[in-house]
């Protein structure tokens, strides 16, 4: 039986192999994704992000257990963009551990982060499409780190949780502005620690002040202690409320369409890169162009102009 | 007299206007850059990066004063990539201040960081080309922040300084790995503070252990107190040594060629984005494609395939 048939029948090992196929962009991966895409669209994507040390992994695991116990099929994608300054262990965060045994019913996958950072968001999205097509009801996407890549990743989620901890203190002050813009729900995790009440009330005030006039969703602040499983049910309740709100307001549909739009453009840029730009560098001719420029006879702008015109023989 | 004529005569205000023109990608900016590029290639680009709070700005100012006093024309470009989590003030770093008055002889420019992060590195490179063409001998490029964008920016420099402080302590431990790979010279700034000796000896040991077998350059660790102007002359000495080493080893030429190569490819991708992808979204037809996909009749991969084939009428 082929890998794809076993995938269709719900085999986790076949799923893993197909994810690797897609991640490594093997020949034919776009066609495969095109087919799987038509089976996708049911899964809810929950993005979980925030500063290192906030307990995101534990929270994601608890959410997975809770949804699974409620009868949902759950997949987790853990992304840890490699920082040039830390080689991955950004500000002391450890590598994400998988506590789900094979056969536990919850599927866990960490993303390989080697390669271009520009491609990581698009790879994560591809993997989420595979999980969706496989039949998961809930796909949890966890990003460990702080940066543009995380923003791109959670941008393709139906709901975004931003997780902070009481200790964040001053740093949360400085981070509020940026966090506000991406959070649909704020989570103060490790809320049994000192300073919890203060940060919750601060966040509530900030959220109220910053709520856009045209939005009917007031970003709630949920206090959790993930490691003790405290308030995870409350958080799930908020998640359901938010998704209901989005559906009723028509935002859900609108966002999914915007996501399709972005996806088409991302694939186009990707192809241009793979099929034109990458091949260029392998041509003898290209070395001559570089020579000319190095000798001051031309400029990169003129060379690019010539190459581009040659490529785009038929303009739009 | 035209702006370009005044630029050629060394007018700082004309320089500022041309930088804005290039930064805002006004019509014709590629042609202008193509012309300026032929006048460029003389300037040495010094990249200065490292974690927030390391005193990079003060150090850059001191280097600028020292080079200027030695008869060099000096330009500074300060880049502060906006973090999605902090809205720019990453981990408490302030906005870069300019201490150089008009007429001081040192030109200072901070980069506008709005817009796509992918474009920031390419914009910074364009501005560096303009400064080079203007006639600066030394272009100091300072990046405030931590991430992939900084890596891309310093990648286009002739020499990279990584600046840390004694207080970094544990975080430097975790950062060493990534820092090592990009540093040509390590600077321990604020070296009059406690813990300085320890970090310097730690860094020296790490550098020695990690030195690639094929490299003849041993990354030196220089202790400075930028605010008191201490050891800036020693640092300048190391910079000269490094550049001499690179020239003698033929690395300088090799890197400059590699930079040209990368630049041509970056311009190509940029053009594809501006002239094809961006225009697509403005077409009525594109909305229909999104509709089809939303209704499950197609997939983003199939749509992209069709659009791509239409564009690349003439393949390589």
The mean per-residue pLDDT over the stretch A36-43 comes to 93
d(CA A41, CA A32): 16
Q: Which tokens hold the place of B260?
A: 């040209």
Q: pLDDT digits over A249-304, tens only?
A: 988 889 999 999 999 998 998 888 888 888 888 888 899 999 999 998 999 999 99
How many other CB atoms are found less than 10 A from the CB of residue A261?
20
Distance, CA of B245 to CA of B220 (rounded, Å): 13
**Interchain CB distance below 8 Å, A294 and B257:** yes
Residues 6+ apart with CB under 8 A from A188: A164, A165, A166, A196, A199, A200, A203, A221, A222, A223, A224
- A84 pLDDT exceeds 80? no
Tokens of residue B55, six digits: 């005193």
For the domain spanning A41-251, the CATH number is 3.40.50.300
Place A81 in a pLDDT band, splitting at 50, 70 and 90: low
pLDDT for residue A69 is more than 70:
yes
| Interior/surface letters B2-31, b for 16+ CB within 10 angstroms, e for the rest | eeeebbbeebbebbeebbebbbeeeeebbe
* B83 closest CB neighbour out of A34, A146, A273: A146
pLDDT score recorded for residue A155? 83
Do the chains contact at B31 and A149, CB–CB below 8 Å? no
Residues of chain B with CATH 3.40.50.300: 41-249
Is A145 a residue whose pLDDT tops 70?
no
The set of residues, in sequence order, having a beta carbon less than 8 Å from that of A289 and lying 6+ positions away, is: A298, A303, A307, B264
pLDDT at A279: 84
Tell me if B299 and A92 make a contact (CB, 8 A cut-off): no
Under an 8 A CB cutoff, do B178 and A38 touch? Answer: no
Comparing CB atoms, the residue among B30, B84, B265 nearest residue A151 is B84
Q: What is the pLDDT of residue B175?
A: 60
Give the residue on A whose Cα is nearest the Cα of B28.
Answer: A301
Residues 6+ apart with CB under 8 A from B195: B166, B167, B169
Higher-confidence residue of A92 and B309: namely B309
CB-nearest to B294 from A174, A256, A265 is: A256
- Find the angle CA(B75)-CA(B78)-CA(B84) to the nearest 5 degrees: 165
Contacts of B271 in chain A (CB under 8 A): 304, 308
Measured between CA atoms, how close is A245 to chain B, in angstroms? 20
Per residue of chain B (316 residues), give pLDDT as tens.
Answer: 899 999 999 999 999 999 999 998 888 999 999 999 999 999 999 999 887 778 999 999 999 999 999 999 999 999 876 554 444 444 444 556 678 877 778 999 988 665 544 478 888 999 999 999 999 999 999 986 566 677 788 888 999 999 988 876 555 554 655 667 788 999 999 999 998 998 899 888 888 887 777 778 999 999 999 999 999 999 999 999 999 999 999 888 899 999 999 999 989 988 888 888 888 888 888 999 999 999 989 999 999 998 888 777 644 3
Structure tokens at B96: 């870069």
- Which burial class, exposed, middle or buried, applies to B194 when counting CB atoms under 10 A from its CB (0-12, 13-18, 19+)? exposed
Residue of chain A whose alpha carbon sits nearest to that of B117? A148
pTM for this model (two decimals): 0.79
* CB of A307 closer than 8 Å to CB of A298: no
**Could B91 and A174 be called an inter-chain contact, meaning their C-beta atoms sit closer than 8 Å?**
yes
pLDDT at A83: 52
Query: Is A83:B146 a contact under the CB 8 Å cutoff?
Result: yes
Residue among A92, A174, A268 whose CB faces B89 most closely? A174
Instruction: Report the residue of chain B nearest A271, measured CA to CA.
Output: B308
- Residue A202: the pLDDT is 86
Say how many CB pairs under 8 Å bridge A and B.
212
Architecture of domain B41-249: 3-Layer(aba) Sandwich (3.40)
CB B38 within 8 A of CB B132: no
Facing A84 at nearest CB: one of B38, B148, B273: B148
Which of A91, A261, A286 comes nearest B171 by C-beta?
A: A91
**CB atoms A148 and B149 under 8 Å:** yes
Q: Do B147 and A83 touch (CB under 8 A)?
A: yes
**How distant is the Cα of A25 from the closest Cα of chain B, in angstroms?**
13
Q: Is the Cβ pair B31, A86 closer than 8 Å?
A: no
pLDDT at B124: 92
Q: Do A174 and B302 touch (CB under 8 A)?
A: no
- What is the model's pLDDT at position B177? 52
CB–CB contact A174 B86 (8 Å): yes
**Span(s) in chain A for CATH 3.40.50.300:** 41-251
The reported pLDDT for the residue numbered B87 is 44
């Amino acid at each position: 039986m082929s890998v794809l048939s076993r995938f269709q029948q719900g085999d986790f090992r076949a799923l893993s192999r197909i994810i690797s196929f897609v991640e490594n962009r093997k020949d034919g991966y776009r066609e495969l994704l095109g087919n799987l895409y038509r089976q996708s669209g049911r899964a809810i994507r929950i993005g979980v992000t925030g500063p290192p040390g906030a307990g995101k992994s534990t929270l994601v695991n608890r959410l997975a257990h809770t949804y699974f116990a409620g009868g949902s099929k759950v997949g987790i994608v853990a992304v840890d963009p490699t920082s040039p300054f830390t080689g991955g262990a950004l500000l002391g965060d450890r590598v994400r551990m998988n506590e789900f045994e094979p056969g536990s019913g919850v599927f866990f996958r960490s993303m390989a982060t080697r390669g271009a950072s520009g491609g990581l968001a698009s790879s994560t999205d591809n993997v989420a499409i595979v999980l969706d097509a496989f039949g998961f009801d809930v796909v949890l996407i966890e990003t460990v780190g702080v940066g543009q890549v995380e923003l791109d990743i959670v941008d393709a989620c139906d709901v975004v949780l931003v997780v902070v901890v009481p200790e964040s203190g001053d740093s949360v002050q400085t981070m509020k502005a940026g966090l506000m813009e991406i959070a649909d729900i704020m989570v103060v995790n490790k809320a049994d620690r000192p300073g919890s009440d203060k940060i919750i009330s601060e966040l509530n005030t900030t959220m109220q002040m910053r709520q856009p006039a045209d939005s009917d969703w007031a970003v709630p602040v949920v206090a959790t202690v993930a490691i003790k499983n405290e308030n995870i049910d409350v958080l799930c309740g908020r998640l359901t409320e938010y998704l209901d709100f989005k559906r009723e307001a028509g935002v859900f549909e609108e966002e999914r369409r915007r996501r399709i739009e972005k996806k088409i453009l991302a694939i186009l840029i990707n192809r241009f890169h793979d099929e034109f730009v990458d091949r260029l560098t392998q041509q003898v001719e290209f070395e001559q162009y570089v020579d000319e420029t190095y000798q001051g006879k031309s400029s990169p702008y003129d060379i690019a102009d010539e190459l581009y015109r040659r490529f785009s023989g038929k303009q739009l």
